[in-house]
């Protein structure tokens, strides 16, 4: 047992991977996307909270991200929380929009630690190429919660964080 752990640690050190890089966290399926595009946020949930089943997921929709629409999910209630926009915007159909969805809550389900699932929202990304957009997520379990909300400081890597917020980096617009 001790030998096995030592070789894994050596391997991780060699590959320059921190411990949590080997540990599948709550992340987005696609981590690069064109700025100003419609994007499918697929929040991957590969495990529960220290083995406890997931019973609720709350996803923050960051400023600048608009048009968020959650995908209905069998066995779960989905609720979209809205807030007033500082300035009204015009959507791609010429409609004036004065509110935006700022959070999505999934409740009422039960995802075992042994199972994998995804929570999906379609959004419009901001027109800020080069920026990394973070979608902080809270995973509530029967026992405890994992708060994937940490955003790296300037010059810091998300790999160095214990609970990194799911993210997508914006490339040049299409």
Identify which of residues 50 and 99 has a Cβ nearer to Cu ion in the complex. 50
- The position carrying tokens 């809550």 is 105
CA nearest neighbour of 136 among 111, 172, 168, 171? 168
Q: Considering the complex, what minimum distance in angstroms separates the CB of residue 148 from Cu ion? A: 9
Residue nearest to Cu ion (CB): 25
Q: Considering the complex, what minimum distance in angstroms separates the CB of residue 23 from Cu ion? A: 4
Identify which of residues 70 and 164 has a Cβ nearer to Cu ion in the complex. 164
Q: Which residues bind Cu ion (CB under 5 A)?
A: 23, 25
Identify which of residues 23 and 115 has a Cβ nearer to Cu ion in the complex. 23
Q: Looking at residue 4, what DSSP letter applies?
A: H
- The position carrying tokens 């030592």 is 6
Q: Considering the complex, what minimum distance in angstroms separates the CB of residue 5 from Cu ion? A: 18
CA distances from 72 to 35, 147, 173 (A): 25, 23, 28
């Amino acid at each position: 047992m001790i030998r096995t752990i030592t070789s894994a640690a050596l391997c991780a050190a060699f590959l320059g991977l921190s411990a949590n890089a080997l540990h599948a966290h709550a992340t987005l399926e696609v981590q690069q996307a064109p700025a100003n595009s419609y994007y499918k946020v697929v929040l991957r949930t590969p495990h529960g909270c220290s083995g406890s089943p997931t019973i609720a997921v709350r996803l923050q929709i960051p400023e600048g991200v608009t048009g968020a629409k959650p995908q209905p999910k069998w066995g779960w209630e989905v609720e979209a929380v809205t807030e007033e926009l500082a300035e009204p915007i015009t959507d791609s159909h010429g409609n004036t929009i004065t509110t935006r969805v700022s959070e999505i809550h999934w409740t009422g389900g039960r995802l075992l630690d042994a199972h994998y699932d995804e929570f999906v929202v379609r959004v419009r990304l901001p027109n800020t190429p080069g920026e990394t957009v973070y979608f902080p997520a809270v995973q509530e379990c029967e026992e405890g919660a994992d708060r994937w909300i940490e955003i790296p400081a300037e010059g810091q890597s998300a790999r160095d964080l214990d609970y990194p917020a799911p993210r997508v980096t914006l490339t040049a617009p299409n």
